[in-house]
Amino acid sequence: MSDLALAYLAAGIGAAIVAIAAGLGIGRIGSAAMEGTARQPEAANAIRTSMIISAALIEGVAFFGLVICFLLSLK
């Protein structure tokens, strides 16, 4: 197996791990936000804002991870 093939395989596995981890993280944030809103409906706006900011940060890190995986596969 050539080095290029292994690089593509590693990039694919790395991208899959990043996508799965981001999905799990955002799912946990959503779950916690729904529980918090159910327990304190008057704090729903603050909880929603915190949830959106946290989800955006996780997506940013996931995007960074994907870019790194693809850049490493092209070297």
74 vs 5: CA distance, rounded Å: 11
- Would the pTM count as exceeding 0.75? yes
- How confident is the model at residue 74, as a pLDDT? 80
29 vs 62: CA distance, rounded Å: 15
pLDDT band for position 1 (cuts 50, 70, 90): confident
pLDDT band for position 2 (cuts 50, 70, 90): confident
Number of structural domains (the chain) is 1
What is the domain-level CATH number for residue 16? 1.20.20.10
What does the pLDDT look like over 12-67, one tens digit per residue?
Answer: 999 999 999 999 999 999 999 999 999 999 999 999 999 999 999 999 999 999 99
Domain range for 52: 3-73
